[in-house]
A and B are shown apart, each in its own frame.
Chain A
Amino acid sequence: MSTTDGPTPLPGAKASQAAADRQSKKGGAGTSADATHKKGLFGAWSEKWQAMPRQKQWLYLIVVVLIAYALPVINPPILSTEPGNDFPLALFSMAVYALVAVGLNIVIGYAGLLDLGYIAFFAVGSYTAAMLTSPDSPFVKIPYLWTIPLAIVVAMCVGVILGIPTLRLRGDYLAIVTLGFGEIIRILATLIPAMKGQVGFQNVGRPPGEGADGIPIFANSNGTPWYWLTLTILIIVLFLAGNLERSRVGRSWIAIREDEDAAETMGVPTFKYKVWAFALGAGVGGMSGALFAGQVGFVNNQKFDIVTSILFVAAVVLGGVGNKVGAVFGGALVAYIPLRFTAIAEYKYLIFGIALMLIMIYRPKGLIPARQRLLAYGQQAYQRVRETSAKKSAVVTEKEV
């Protein structure tokens, strides 16, 4: 049979294959050095990670999480953004961006729907929190913490409302339409009197509790508790996203991303699952918006511009499309760089632009590619489909003998 005809293998698939081959030949002499050389630092790490037993992985995870919680207290000298920016507040900002990137990764990374207007859901979440807690708002006031689940629900509804008419479009057309979402929300905030345009809402609520000196624990200037709250939510969302991607829904999303028509002819209700991806992504976006509004304490229509929306996409692409760990990394990095290097903060879009181009050329699948997840799923499918099949073929060979 000819091996020269047919479509050229995708460069990404080729790399993944090479990695998978190496994994199956684990322990073979000379292969690991080659792997380190080809995959770079992150690739080598993720391969080592795959090779570890489950308990060891958990142990490392716990250590990483503990370090993450301790960061604002330790305030490590080189990492720290001070004196330019308050480090705990910077950490909060990184955690919010990471959360946004994890949510957007569901839409872009799993289901392959390029959403350039994700800021819309972030804005919906922010306004939900602001309008239900700020004294400037004419609406009913509720405790701030209740606005977080409410922001998820409202953003999900907006996601479904925007998704149903637009998700019939594909690829570039969808991207162009989503570009309008962010603008729609921003213009609505200007036009509808109750949303108070540029004047906005001050004194957005905060979680309850006061310190011994009578200052609220979740004061706007106190980043540490906000960071801890957001980090906790981020960990929960990561956990849920991890379960989701291994589920039937996750498999459908990946099939849709790879080939929508083929997925449909395999029996995947593609439209339904695309709307689901949109809604779940929107929910996470709305939640991030509510957290952001609470910490900043002020919401108006100036905060939700298209450039920020593109920055969200950049975070996902930077980290590695389809990889939730990559998304956390990308989101945190996009927030961190301008805060840490204040001298170059003005040029952040230039720098991210160049960084994105370099990544597209040298690491088209992002800093941390999404390979490991698919492999994990492969092992699962392997076990499920082969369980009885193995027994059967054993019987067959016995007969043949």
Chain B
Amino acid sequence: MTLLELDDVSVHYGRIQAIHNMSFTVDEGEIVSLIGANGAGKTTTMRTISGLLNPSQGSIKFMGEDITKMKAHIRVVQGISQAPEGRGIFPAMTVLENLDMGTFGRKDRTGVSEDLDRVFTLFPRLKEREKQFGGTMSGGEQQMLSIGRALMSRPKLLLLDEPSMGLAPQFIRQIFKIITEINSQGTTVLLVEQNANQALARAHRAFVLETGEITHSGTGKELLANPAIKEAYLGVG
């Protein structure tokens, strides 16, 4: 079943067009990766889906419902949750307070402790540090917190914007393993990455973005094998 559908979406910053007539879908249960270089429009795409940016043209549908005009804070309640680029954690709040903020839009209080357990099982490190202030944690821990916080709203679709940014190589592998785990527990994941190797290896399907347009699409494996993509994004000539 199609969970998210972008149809002919364009996004402008003032007069500059960042996204050109983009269309793609994300099916339930998938991991979908968007890869591309700096300035390709990856983050713009994410912010448009989460509602922080408004498209100048086109429509976005979530679970069959048109959400193009819906405000970001209502999209969370509908089931779209974002771990933003640069992590976006609240530095002066503790780990637990950060996670608690993730439940802000929820109506049910009963499922919260269940989800907290789930987050602590995925990231035991967060449980160790639950009373620590977000701003004092390392980059990797902040990334865990950002993903954990996004999960606290029990999303149907989890948007991850550059989860590997600024992390050590062995930790990048770990975070992608956790992303696969989250997906296998039933959460659909849309992820934006510069680390094409991991992003393609873990994804069911993937799209390559260049200057605001989708230039390639296919399964993760297909794209990994594509010579043009190998050369441009995987550093293999």
Contacts and interface: CB of A to CB of B under 8 A. Distances in A.
Identify the interface centre among B76, B84, B105, B131: most chain A CB within 10 Å of its CB: B131
Interface stretch (A140-148, A186-194, A219-227, A252-260): A252-260
A54 interface: no
Interface string A372-401: 001001100110111111001100000000
A4 B104 CA distance: 31
A7 interface: yes
B236 interface: no
Interface in A1-42: 1-7, 9-10, 12-14, 16-17, 20, 24
A265 B50 contact: yes
Q: Which of A14, A258, A382 has the most CB of B within 10 A?
A: A258
Contacts of B104: 248, 251-252, 255, 266-268
| Interface of chain A: mostly helix, strand, loop or mixed | helix
B70 to A, nearest CB: 12
Contacts of B117: 389, 392-393
B90 A254 contact: yes
Contacts, number: 164
Interface in B95-140: 96-97, 99-106, 112-114, 116-117, 130-140
Contacts of B142: 6-7
Nearest to B102: A266
A261 interface: yes
Contact of B97 (A248, A264, A378, A389): A378
Given A17-B132, A264-B73, A266-B101, A254 B93 contact: yes
A112 to B, nearest CB: 11
A128 to B, nearest CB: 34
Given A268-B105, A378-B97, 9 more contacts: A2-B171, A7-B86, A258-B93, A264-B51, A265-B72, A266-B76, A269-B71, A386-B96, A389-B113
B73 A269 contact: yes
A262 interface: yes
Given A2-B139, A2-B167, A3-B138, A16 B92 contact: yes
Contacts of A269: 71, 73
21 contacts: A1-B170, A2-B167, A5-B139, A6-B143, A7-B86, A9-B135, A9-B137, A13-B136, A14-B135, A16-B133, A20-B131, A248-B104, A251-B101, A254-B92, A264-B73, A265-B50, A265-B72, A266-B76, A270-B73, A382-B96, A389-B113
